[in-house]
Structure 1
């Protein structure tokens, strides 16, 4: 049966989700501010997603509304996310569409053990609290019967189209020319990497499973690899030699944070790069019978698509 879906955001996750839904024969609309052509066979809509009245017109009759947005200015999340999150909630309530949210691991805060679904959101930094509060509000409205929602959380992105927004992918162009890479924190701490294609597969899967709604699900992700290992293996997928991977000293990062707003935001989350940062996705894999894309394929797609 053909369904209608609306996706807010045309980044790598939004694009992958749109392609999955299109390829199975569903009708898909992607909402962006510009409305410029995004994907063959997918309707592009120019709308301000913070305007719930406008968004509701697009989502009227849709089975699900996918939040794949990611405000581009990392330093302005505190002002940009709340009106967008509220508009999505209001649209879901007005139209009855399931709200499927793409999120990250920020709400959990610093941790010393693999992150599992259901553990407390213990973040104290403002970005982590922001994402945790978004989940809490959406969950409260779901439990009150006002909306239906589900949230998917993944770790740092790799895969096609991530580019400058990824901690590994941003280094690929220069590293493929033999240039050294300077990474945040420690270069050899185990870290989980999530393929954007697997984020999309998980979103589509949980959106079609009412028994999954009202909960957080982790994106199936491969075994953790350090920043050095991940970059080296991505390069190897194209036959490139390893490059030097050096860590930016924490005192230097803190110094930059005093004068650079973006570095200030990154420094606040530096715990992710100075200790193991591992995502456990076993529950999703078992419940939904999903597996992460094989790492070798992830590396090839990461190299080819960035």
Structure 2
């Protein structure tokens, strides 16, 4: 029976673990809290993934090591290198294939649809460290030390998703209250459904064509207003009242919480059109984007 290790406990980590387990594979979920879904083939393990020796022991015999870890947003430049370095080392030691859950920050400002061939030219610290983590894994792959790949997702939607939309827009819309958003409301953005991203992670891990390169998770292209409007219609609540957060409001919020200061770096993704070409994963593996309404209906059904 194939055996996999999933590092992380968020929505995508959970969805990936359940996809594997429902297919009959054993899964060991690793996180500092030891949390995870209840499934007879999912073992939940409490460790700090920066303990490389402990993680390496847990990964012995694993077919795949999925890295879906996500430390606090404002700590990426400091915490990602040691954390991801530990996970990569554990994959090398165990012989497991290394599958990273990435995002789109590493590209930096881009005009036109982003493809996987675009250079990683991020100008901010979060984007640069994300790019660096992939380049280190790619270097190990090219040197023959590990098989590595990365699935880069957009802003998450779906049950359990943790994103600007699900944190700041979704609850206000459902409550019939105005939502203040650190984003332009009517420009296209790249969204990725939790379930689609998990299917993409599993697909690249199970096919030899998946290794040695990055892939874009299936992408839903829509504006904030469009997603909020569909959510309201499906939930049977009033039409959303949305407004874009001003620079002054964002600055004031940043005085009390470092999370808000991180919004400045990604304004090229939130205040300008930012679209993604995810045709490669659909053409190669048959993993396409779910309809927006289906993703939102699933979210509503689990509330």
TM-score, with length taken from structure 2 = 0.95
Shift of 1:36: 4.0
Shift of 1:252: 3.2
Which runs of 5 or more structure 1 residues have no equivalent in the other structure?
A: none
Q: 2:301 aligned to 294, 300, 304, which one? A: 304
Q: 2:290 aligned to 290, 293, 298, which one? A: 293
3-state secondary structure, aligned to 2:4:
strand
The equivalent of 2:96 in structure 1 is 97
Give deviations 1:54-112, integer Å, cap 9, x for gaps. Answer: 001111000000001111x2221122111111101110110000000000000001112
TM-score, with length taken from structure 1 = 0.94
The equivalent of 1:185 in structure 2 is 183
Give deviations 1:177-224, integer Å, cap 9, x for gaps. Answer: 2101111131111112110111100000000111220100011122x1
3-state secondary structure, aligned to 1:192:
strand
Shift of 1:143: 0.1
Shift of 1:302: 2.5
Shift of 1:301: 1.5
Q: Do 1:185 and 1:249's aligned partners in 2 also have CA atoms closer than 8 Å?
A: no
* Runs (4+) off by over 3 Å: 254-260
The equivalent of 2:31 in structure 1 is 32
Paired residues, what number?
301
The equivalent of 2:20 in structure 1 is 21
Which runs of 5 or more structure 2 residues have no equivalent in the other structure?
A: none
Shift of 1:268: 1.9
CA distance in 2, matches of 1:178, 1:257: 26
Q: Do 2:67 and 2:98's aligned partners in 1 also have CA atoms closer than 8 Å?
A: yes
The equivalent of 1:65 in structure 2 is 65
The equivalent of 1:136 in structure 2 is 135
Q: 1:23 to 1:91 in 2, by over 3 A?
A: same
3-state secondary structure, aligned to 1:107:
helix
Asked whether 1:232 is paired with 2:233, we answer no
Q: 1:203 aligned to 181, 189, 201, which one? A: 201
Q: 1:4 to 1:199 in 2, by over 3 A?
A: same
Shift of 1:243: 1.5
Give deviations 1:148-170, integer Å, cap 9, x for gaps. Answer: 111000100000111xx312212
CA RMSD of aligned residues (A): 1.4
Q: Do 2:9 and 2:36's aligned partners in 1 also have CA atoms closer than 8 Å?
A: no
Q: 1:167 to 1:36 in 2, by over 3 A?
A: closer
Write the mapping of 1:32-181 to structure 2, written as runs, cut at 5 A.
32-36=31-35, 38-41=37-40, 42-71=42-71, 73-162=72-161, 165-170=162-167, 171-181=169-179
Quick check: 259-268 or 5-14, which moved more?
259-268
